[in-house]
């Protein structure tokens, strides 16, 4: 996978912005280990997210 394609995959799961090179959180879903990215703004506002693989919802 090229570098450009890799960057576009890193989107905030809550708002969808590209988080490559930003102060984003990166963690695995507690239920299925799917990689989740969240931007600083959504983390600060405690916006909900839903795992795209298993449907787990978190703050």
Give domain limits for the chain. Answer: 3-49
Q: Which pLDDT value is given to residue 59?
A: 85
- Residue written as tokens 């879903």? 29
Burial of 47 (0-12, 13-18, 19+ CB in 10 A): middle
Q: Which pLDDT value is given to residue 34?
A: 95
Q: Which pLDDT value is given to residue 53?
A: 95
pLDDT at 21 exceeding the cut of 70? yes
Residue 24 binned pLDDT confidence (cut-offs 50, 70, 90): very high
pLDDT at 1 exceeding the cut of 70? no
User: Residues of the chain with pLDDT > 90: what percent?
Assistant: 76
Question: Which ranges of the chain does DSSP label H, i.e. alpha helix?
Answer: 3-9, 40-44
**Which pairing describes strands 25-28 and 35-38: parallel, antiparallel, or unpaired?**
antiparallel
């Amino acid at each position: 996978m090229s570098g450009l394609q890799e960057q576009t995959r890193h989107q905030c799961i809550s708002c969808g912005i590209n988080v490559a090179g930003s102060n984003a959180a990166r963690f695995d879903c507690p239920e299925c280990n799917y990689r989740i990215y969240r931007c600083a703004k959504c983390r600060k506002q405690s916006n909900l997210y839903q795992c795209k693989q298993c449907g787990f919802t978190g703050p």
